[in-house]
Amino acid sequence: MFENLDFSKMNEFLSKAEEQAKEFEEELGKREFSAKSGAGLVQVSANGKGEIIDVNIDNSLLEDKESLQILLISAINDVLSMVAQNKQSMVSNIFGGLKS
């Protein structure tokens, strides 16, 4: 069953994958994404790991809780979507690079 497997190549592949996973995590932490809603009244920023790192809310929204909630949810969803798309793109690049 295992007679045709070259374990030295498998170890090399796994080492390379582990190294790229570490680089991937570091790169995610460095990237920053921002999304706005309500013509810029709300802005949310997240790093590449999907952690919210900043929220800016225009003072005009402080008296309108319902609008603030809607705009905040919209901006959060948008920025998290950006993060997810970035992760997917980076993973595709990593696995594409491992084929070589």
**Coil/strand/helix, residue 5:** coil
Q: Residue 55: exposed, middle, or buried by beta-carbon count in 10 A (0-12, 13-18, 19+)?
A: middle
pLDDT score at 64:
97
pLDDT score at 47:
96
Tracing tokens 């390379």 back to the chain, one arrives at 16
pLDDT score at 10:
77
H or E segment and range at residue 10: helix 7-30
pLDDT score at 2:
60
pLDDT score at 27:
86
Complete domains list, the chain, with CATH: 31-98 (3.30.1310.10)
pLDDT score at 70:
98
* Residue 36 dihedral angles phi and psi, to the nearest 5°: -120, 155
pLDDT score at 81:
98
Query: What is d(CA 88, CA 73) in angstroms, rounded to the nearest whole number?
Result: 22
pLDDT score at 23:
86
pLDDT score at 5:
67
Helices (H) and strands (E) in the chain, counts: 2, 3
Alpha helices (H) along the chain: 7-30, 65-98
Per-run averaged pLDDT (10 residues), the chain, 100 residues: 68 82 86 97 96 97 97 98 93 69
Are 45 and 79 a contacting pair, CB within 8 Å?
yes
